[in-house]
Amino acid sequence: MATETGQSNESEASSEGAFNRWVNGAIADPSKIYRGLFYVATIFFVVTTLFPFYYLLVIALTPTEAIFQMGLVPKGFNWQAFVEVFQAVPFHFYMLNSFILAVGTTLIVLVIASLAGYVFGRLEFPGRQPLMLLVLAVAYFPPAAFFVPLFQLFSGQVFPWLNVLNTPGALVPPYTALYMPLAIFILTTFYQQIPQGLEDAARVEGTTRLGALFRVIIPLSAPGVATAAVLTFIGVYNEFFFSFLMITSGEYTNWATIVYGILNYQTQYTTLYNLMAAASIIGVLPIAILVVIAQEKIVSGLTAGALKE
pLDDT value, residue 302:
60
What is the pLDDT, as a whole number, of residue 2? 47
At residue 309 the predicted structure's pLDDT band, cuts being 50, 70 and 90, is very low
pLDDT of residue 38: 84
What is the rounded average pLDDT for all residues in the chain?
A: 82
Alpha carbons 266 and 272: distance in angstroms, whole number: 6
CA distance 208 to 217: 12
Q: How far apart are CA 180 and CA 107, in angstroms?
A: 11
Q: Concatenated DSSP letters for 83-139? A: HHHHHHS-HHHHHHHHHHHHHHHHHHHHHHHHHHHHHHHH---TTHHHHHHHHHHHT
The residue type found at 278 is A
pLDDT one-digit tens code per residue, 77-100:
778 888 889 988 889 999 999 999
Closest CA to 277 of 123, 58, 43, 100: 58
For residue range 139-190, what is the model confidence (pLDDT) as tens digits?
Answer: 788 888 888 899 899 988 888 888 888 888 889 999 999 999 989 998 998 8
Q: What is the pLDDT of residues 235-265, one digit of tens each?
A: 999 888 888 888 887 666 678 889 888 888 8
Phi, psi values for residue 121, rounded to 5°: -90, -25
Q: Which of 305 and 187 is assigned the larger pLDDT?
A: 187
Q: Which band of pLDDT confidence, cut at 50, 70 and 90, is reported for residue 307?
A: very low
Is the backbone of residue 255 left (phi > 0), alpha (psi -120 to 50) or beta?
Answer: left
Which pLDDT score is estimated for 109?
Answer: 95
Radius of gyration of the chain (CA): 27
Q: Model's pTM, two decimal places?
A: 0.80
Query: Is the separation of the CB atoms in 184 and 137 below 8 Å?
Result: no
Judge whether 71 and 59 are in contact, CB under 8 Å. Answer: no
- Backbone CA torsion sign across 151, 155, 158, 162: positive
Q: How many CB atoms lie within 10 A of CB 109?
A: 29
Higher-pLDDT residue of 13 and 118 is: 118
pLDDT the model gives residue 13: 46
Q: Compute the average pLDDT of residues 32-45.
A: 82
Yes or no: say if 189 and 114 are a contact pair by the CB < 8 Å rule: no
Count the Cβ atoms, other than its own, within 10 Å of residue 70.
Answer: 18
C-beta of residue 166 within 8 angstroms of C-beta of residue 249: yes
Q: 254: which residues sit within 8 A by CB, 6+ positions away?
A: 166, 167, 247
Cα dist from 222 to 207, 216, 219, 302, whole Å? 20, 10, 5, 12
